[in-house]
């Protein structure tokens, strides 16, 4: 009886040891199993960086819209909230106030800002007009060339690129500023005044040009449209230098998404025209014509620095009521240029070589 009891006890001990070994092996397999590890990793998603970007919604600036709607920001690891505004100044104001992290502006907005601070970093430029800026004259008032502008009222928004543009057009035509009346009007107001006849000429761009043509037809004359010859603008993406110093990798992700958008535009222009048409509420064929007048390329060029340098000198001369006696807080314009793009796509970064010449 005792012998049977010992045998039974030995049997249970062996069973217990065996079960313990099985449990141990199973647990080790669960920890080491590649399939189980992938499942855990899939559930532990890495949170995307939250970013706020403001841009001008127009044919001049499609890349932010493309990156947002085609999921390129998300693909780059960002959770982006995009807002849009009609004027670069408003986008610059939003960046300066800290309500956004990145802003799509024109280089003239940077020139203005430099009179108050230089906490700005330019990440890239991405478009400029070939023939996008136009001076329109009322042909029914005898305006058929730049020389006919003498003694006329010209609508132009002061302190922006088109203001520089019209002054250079007048200089080439041999017309002094005292011999014309420049009327300071916001672009939409200038277009309305031109249609009504209260001004004789206007400096403007699309889509306002199309709206003017619909109203006036052959009563208008295109006096000039050579943007590069007189003074273009550059659409650029900026952030605060202090912000960039804290989040350099985030800025690179933003640029990667924009580069993906550029590639998508180059490969799928018709899809982009449709996207812009949907959001701008403008006919797709008109969008295509607008885009044909614009040069798109993500890059950083010496010309950008030259333009900002010129504009910081131009503003006090032509707008003394705002800038007389003032100087930019910094005139080292090269310091405004971030090298983030150089680290991602070095062939697009042309600034350094020029400065070192």
In this predicted model, what pLDDT tens digit does every residue of 319-342 receive, in sequence order?
A: 999 998 899 999 999 999 999 999
pLDDT of residue 46: 62
What does pTM read for this prediction?
0.84
CA dist 177 and 318 (Å) reads: 10
pLDDT of residue 5: 40
Q: Judge if 102 and 205 occupy the same domain.
A: no
Residue 9 placed within a domain? no
Which domain does 269 fall in, by range? 49-129+233-356
- When pLDDT is averaged across residues 211-234 and rounded to a whole number, the result is 93
Q: Find the CATH number of the domain harbouring 77.
A: 3.40.190.10
pLDDT of residue 87: 86
Per-residue pLDDT tens over the stretch 262-294:
999 999 999 999 999 999 999 999 999 999 999
Q: Judge if 344 and 249 occupy the same domain.
A: yes
Residue 260 has pLDDT above 80, yes or no: yes
- When pLDDT is averaged across residues 21-40 and rounded to a whole number, the result is 36
- When pLDDT is averaged across residues 218-222 and rounded to a whole number, the result is 95
Q: Judge if 256 and 349 occupy the same domain.
A: yes
49: pLDDT confidence band, cut at 50, 70 and 90?
confident
48: pLDDT confidence band, cut at 50, 70 and 90?
confident
Higher pLDDT, 33 or 277: 277
Of 230, 259, 275, which residue is a domain's last? 230
Per-residue pLDDT tens over the stretch 57-107:
899 999 999 999 999 999 999 999 999 998 899 999 999 999 999 999 999
Q: Judge if 243 and 306 occupy the same domain.
A: yes
Contact predicate 321/272, CB 8 Å:
no
Q: Judge if 322 and 256 occupy the same domain.
A: yes
Q: Judge if 182 and 116 occupy the same domain.
A: no
Counting residues of the chain whose pLDDT is more than 90, the rounded percentage is 80
Higher pLDDT, 18 or 240: 240
Neighbour count for residue 98 (Cβ, 10 Å):
10
H helix count then E strand count, the chain: 18, 11
CA dist 222 and 327 (Å) reads: 37
45: pLDDT confidence band, cut at 50, 70 and 90?
low
**Order of all β-strands in the sheet with 49-56:** 78-85, 49-56, 102-106, 235-239, 121-129, 294-299
- Per DSSP, which regions of 92-212 are E strands? 102-106, 121-129, 134-138, 153-156, 181-184, 201-204
- When pLDDT is averaged across residues 5-20 and rounded to a whole number, the result is 39
Contact predicate 221/135, CB 8 Å:
no
Q: Judge if 162 and 109 occupy the same domain.
A: no
Per-residue pLDDT tens over the stretch 113-124:
999 999 999 999
Higher pLDDT, 289 or 39: 289
Residue 15 has pLDDT above 60, yes or no: no
Both tokens assigned to 47: 């949170």
Per-residue pLDDT tens over the stretch 122-149:
999 999 999 989 999 999 999 999 999 9
Which residue has tokens 């052959």? 218
Mean predicted lDDT score pLDDT of the chain = 87
pLDDT of residue 289: 94
How many domains does the chain fold into? 2
- Per DSSP, which regions of the chain are E strands? 49-56, 78-85, 102-106, 121-129, 134-138, 153-156, 181-184, 201-204, 220-224, 235-239, 294-299
Q: Judge if 121 and 244 occupy the same domain.
A: yes
pLDDT of residue 13: 37
């Amino acid at each position: 009886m005792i012998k049977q009891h010992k045998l039974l006890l030995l049997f249970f001990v062996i069973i217990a040891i065996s079960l313990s070994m099985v449990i141990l092996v199973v647990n080790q397999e669960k920890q080491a199993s590649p399939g189980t590890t992938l499942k855990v990793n899939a559930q532990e998603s890495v949170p995307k960086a939250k970013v706020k970007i403001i841009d001008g919604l127009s044919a001049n600036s499609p890349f932010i819209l493309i990156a947002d709607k085609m999921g390129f920001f998300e693909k780059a690891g960002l959770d982006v909230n995009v807002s849009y505004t009609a004027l670069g100044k408003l986008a610059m104001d939003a960046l300066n106030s800290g309500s956004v992290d990145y802003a799509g502006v024109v280089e003239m907005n940077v020139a203005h800002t430099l009179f108050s601070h230089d906490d700005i970093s330019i990440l890239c430029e991405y478009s400029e007009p070939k023939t996008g800026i136009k001076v329109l004259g009322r042909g029914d008032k005898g305006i058929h060339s730049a020389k006919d502008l003498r003694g006329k009222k010209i609508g132009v928004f002061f302190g922006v690129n088109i203001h520089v543009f019209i002054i250079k057009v007048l200089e080439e035509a041999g017309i002094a500023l005292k011999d014309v009346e420049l009327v300071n009007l916001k672009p939409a107001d200038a277009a309305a005044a031109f249609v009504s006849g209260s001004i004789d000429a206007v400096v403007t761009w699309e889509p306002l040009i199309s709206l003017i043509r619909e109203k006036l037809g052959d009563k208008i004359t295109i006096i000039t449209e050579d943007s590069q010859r007189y003074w273009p603008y550059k659409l650029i993406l900026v952030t605060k230098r202090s912000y960039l110093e804290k989040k350099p990798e985030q800025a690179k992700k933003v640029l990667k998404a924009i580069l993906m958008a550029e590639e998508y535009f180059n490969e799928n222009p018709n899809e982009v025209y449709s996207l812009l048409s949907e959001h701008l509420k403008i006919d797709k064929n008109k969008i295509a014509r607008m885009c044909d007048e614009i040069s798109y390329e993500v890059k950083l060029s010496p010309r950008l620095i030259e333009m900002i340098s010129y504009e910081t000198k131009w503003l006090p001369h032509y707008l003394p009521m705002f800038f007389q006696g003032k100087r930019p807080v910094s005139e080292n314009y090269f310091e405004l240029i971030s090298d983030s793009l150089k680290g991602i796509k070095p062939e697009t970064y042309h600034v350094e070589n020029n400065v070192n010449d």
